[in-house]
């Protein structure tokens, strides 16, 4: 039977419900700017009524739970697009930095230096005996090679910075995964009875989940989805079993986590390799598996696959730019050296060669083609006095006895090169061949004019035999091994003017011979800029000019950067729309909370009035009794 004490209890329940409502509203207001905080609502219902005659009498209010307003579907989309945005933002920042190394659109940079370099060869061809122009050509060459080296070093440094970022971000992934596993334990403990939701702990976990997705594109998988229609028609939360995976590899499994392994000790260039450890201890490489988030962008920029032989990435945007610039520099070096070998000298020395004396030359990694080249000897007046053709085919080696199918055998063979029936004035009588390791173990090909001929003013040169009029149709023997070099080096990092020409530019030659006014080498250098060559980049071969190869490199960087910027604009639009939708559901609205505060304040006052009324009624009863 209902009585005054029951009515007092009803008033007290109203006070308690209003108090909890005020507390929850205050909690929402206090965390309005807290990252990841989800607004909470108090769920109440009528208490079990008292069964009386003539009917049930209300028994006050009961607080069922305090729930957060959260839509897991929207959160999943928000997390996914956050991973895309992080990928896109990092990619754009890195590529904008990369594109700044190629300021060709402003008329400066390597291409401008290359044009000035060929202009100096034109000036040299017009004045082949002018030492001042030789010095100017040397300075312009050093400016060109210095700019190529600087650009390549900038790209390599950027690639290394991106690689270093990988270690930092994988460490963050492991830290976040550990924190999530600990939070899972706390959430399971707090919700063990199955009655109440650990809203604040779930909010913290959601923040970590989003951060993990931003780093590595991780996905959360949970057992079931529960709707909260009492709070909001869009409110729902995933519960049950919990895992976080990266392309099928679980890095968090309930209350435990599996740290990713990162290692660079086995790579001489310091490129990190990331792997996942299975339960049996086997490490599974993850470079090809991580596609999302900042780490996915790092792999796409730096390169995913590491070549076991070279230790360098075989793909990646930055690695492609490095390989393209190396191919450009290598093509410029070899084609220029092959032409400059036509200028006369008394001694030629190749680069250091990784080639056994009896190995087939065409089977090596040297860019030598089947064909032939001529060794030409000039007298002191620049007259040609002898010429011998050296053939290169599939079985040609570097060393061998006179008369054999080797470079040495063909040079040292005793034959009449000038049809004068004199056996003492042929190529084999002028030149000395040496292909033996030096005292320091370096192996080079050395061709020298013998002392007697050198003293008499004789010089020699190497002229490639061309199948067609195109420079690239020859054997490229001198260019490939670096005989009588104009450029030292073999890639964009080490290209430079030959040290002897740098020390004394006046020794530079414009012609084939020592004859005054001979400018044939300089004219060939001018023509070189219009010639097509094969530039090899990995498994791809580009047949284009020196300018064309550089344009391919700069265009690749520019187009890739512009594409990344365009994708970023699209992703940012999607992110902003999804973030707005997510915030409209979960974020605290101060205006709404102030309205709720007034509502609960009024409710609290009304409940207090009920208690005051009951108190007055009790005082009246007690007064009647007295």
Q: What is the mean pLDDT of residues 511-532?
A: 95
pLDDT band at 1 (very low <50, low <70, confident <90, very high): low
At residue 622, the pLDDT reads 82
At residue 229, the pLDDT reads 62
At residue 465, the pLDDT reads 95
pLDDT band at 47 (very low <50, low <70, confident <90, very high): confident
At residue 265, the pLDDT reads 87
Q: At what angle do helices 131-190 and 72-99 cross, to 10 degrees?
A: 170
At residue 232, the pLDDT reads 61
231 has a pLDDT exceeding 70: no
At residue 614, the pLDDT reads 85
- Which residue, 444, 476, 473, 461, is CA-closest to 366? 476
230 has a pLDDT exceeding 80: no
442 has a pLDDT exceeding 70: yes
327 has a pLDDT exceeding 80: yes
At residue 238, the pLDDT reads 64
Q: What is the mean pLDDT of residues 281-294?
A: 91
Q: Considering just the CA atoms, what is the radius of gyration of the chain in Å?
A: 40
Whole-prediction pTM: 0.89
Helix (H) or strand (E) holding 276: strand 273-277
Query: Mean pLDDT over all residues of the chain?
Result: 91
Q: What is the mean pLDDT of residues 334-344?
A: 97
Give the rounded percent of residues in the chain with a pLDDT score beyond 70: 96
219-227: strand order across its sheet: 219-227, 236-246, 249-253, 256-257
Q: What is the mean pLDDT of residues 386-391?
A: 94
pLDDT band at 226 (very low <50, low <70, confident <90, very high): low
- 83-127: pLDDT as tens digits: 999 999 999 999 999 999 998 877 788 999 999 999 999 999 999
Identify each DSSP E strand in 441-569 by its residue range. Answer: 446-449, 459-464, 487-488, 496-497, 533-537, 540-544
Q: At what angle do helices 110-126 and 546-586 cross, to 10 degrees?
A: 170
pLDDT band at 177 (very low <50, low <70, confident <90, very high): very high
Q: What is the mean pLDDT of residues 530-541?
A: 93
pLDDT band at 420 (very low <50, low <70, confident <90, very high): confident
379 has a pLDDT exceeding 60: yes
At residue 626, the pLDDT reads 60
Hunting for tokens 């860019």 — which residue is that?
A: 367
At residue 9, the pLDDT reads 84
Using alpha carbons, list the distances in angstroms from residue 513 to 136, 362, 464, 481, 497: 22, 30, 16, 22, 21
What is the full DSSP assignment across 303-360?
A: -S-B-TTT-SBS-SHHHHHHHHHHHHHHHHHHHHHHHHTTS-BSEEE-------TTS-
Asked if 570 and 66 touch (Cβ cutoff 8 Å), the reply is no
Q: What is the mean pLDDT of residues 188-207?
A: 86
At residue 196, the pLDDT reads 78
At residue 191, the pLDDT reads 84
575 has a pLDDT exceeding 60: yes
- 299-317: pLDDT as tens digits: 999 999 888 888 899 899 9
């Amino acid at each position: 039977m209902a009585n005054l004490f029951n009515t007092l209890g009803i008033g007290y329940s109203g006070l308690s419900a209003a108090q909890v409502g005020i507390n929850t509203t205050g909690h929402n207001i206090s965390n309005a700017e807290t990252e990841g905080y989800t607004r909470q609502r108090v769920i109440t219902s009528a208490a079990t009524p008292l069964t009386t005659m003539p009917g049930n009498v209300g028994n006050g209010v009961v607080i069922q739970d305090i729930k957060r307003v959260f839509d897991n579907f929207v959160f999943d989309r928000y997390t996914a697009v956050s991973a895309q945005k992080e990928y896109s933002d990092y990619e754009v920042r890195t590529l904008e930095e990369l594109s700044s190394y190629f300021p060709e659109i402003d008329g400066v940079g390597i291409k401008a230096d290359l044009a000035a370099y060929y202009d100096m060869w034109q000036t040299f061809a017009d004045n082949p005996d002018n030492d001042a122009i030789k010095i100017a050509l040397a300075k312009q060459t050093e400016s060109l090679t210095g700019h190529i080296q600087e650009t390549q070093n900038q790209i390599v440094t950027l690639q290394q910075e991106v690689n270093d970022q990988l270690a930092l971000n994988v460490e963050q992934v492991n830290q976040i995964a550990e924190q999530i596993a600990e939070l899972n334990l706390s959430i399971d403990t707090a919700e063990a009875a199955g009655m109440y939701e650990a809203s604040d702990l779930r909010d913290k976990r959601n923040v970590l989940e989003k951060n993990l997705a931003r780093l590595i594109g991780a996905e959360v998988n949970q057992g079931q989805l529960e709707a909260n229609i009492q709070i909001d028609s869009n409110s729902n939360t995933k519960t049950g079993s919990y895992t976080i995976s990266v392309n099928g590899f679980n890095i968090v499994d309930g209350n435990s986590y599996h740290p990713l392994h990162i290692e660079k000790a086995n790579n001489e260039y310091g490129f990190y390799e990331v792997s996942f450890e299975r339960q049996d201890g086997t490490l599974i490489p993850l470079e090809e598996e991580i596609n999302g988030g900042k780490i996915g962008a790092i792999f796409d920029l730096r390169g995913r696959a590491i070549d076991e032989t070279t230790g360098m990435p075989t793909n990646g945007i930055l690695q492609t730019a490095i390989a393209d610039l190396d191919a450009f520099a290598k093509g410029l070096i070899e084609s220029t050296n092959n032409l400059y070998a036509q200028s006369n000298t008394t001694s030629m020395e190749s680069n250091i060669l990784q080639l056994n004396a009896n190995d087939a030359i065409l089977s090596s990694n040297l860019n030598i083609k089947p064909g032939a080249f001529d060794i030409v000897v000039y007298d002191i007046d620049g007259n040609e006095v002898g010429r011998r053709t050296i053939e290169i085919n599939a079985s040609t080696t570097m060393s061998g006895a006179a008369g054999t199918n080797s470079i040495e055998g063909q040079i040292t063979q005793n034959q009449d090169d000038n049809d004068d029936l004199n056996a003492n004035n042929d190529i084999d009588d002028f030149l000395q061949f040496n292909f033996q390791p030096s005292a320091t173990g370096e192996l080079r090909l050395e061709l020298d004019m013998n002392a007697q001929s050198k003293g008499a003013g004789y010089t020699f040169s190497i002229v490639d035999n061309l199948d067609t009029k195109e420079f690239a149709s020859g054997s490229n023997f001198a260019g490939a091994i670096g005989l009588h070099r104009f450029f030292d080096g073999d890639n964009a990092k080490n290209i430079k003017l030959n040290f002897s020409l740098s020390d004394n530019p006046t020794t530079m030659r414009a012609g084939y011979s020592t004859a005054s006014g001979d400018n044939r080498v300089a004219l060939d250098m001018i023509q070189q800029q219009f010639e097509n060559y094969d530039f090899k980049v990995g498994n791809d071969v580009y047949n284009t000019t020196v300018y064309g190869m550089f344009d391919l490199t700069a265009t690749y960087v520019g187009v890739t950067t512009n594409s990344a910027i365009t994708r970023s604009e699209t992703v940012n639009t999607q992110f902003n729309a999804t973030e707005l939708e997510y915030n409209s559901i979960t974020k605290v609205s101060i205006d709404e909370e102030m309205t709720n505060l007034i509502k609960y304040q009024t409710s609290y006052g009304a409940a207090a009035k009920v208690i005051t009324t009951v108190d007055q009624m009790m005082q009246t009863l007690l007064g009647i009794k007295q």
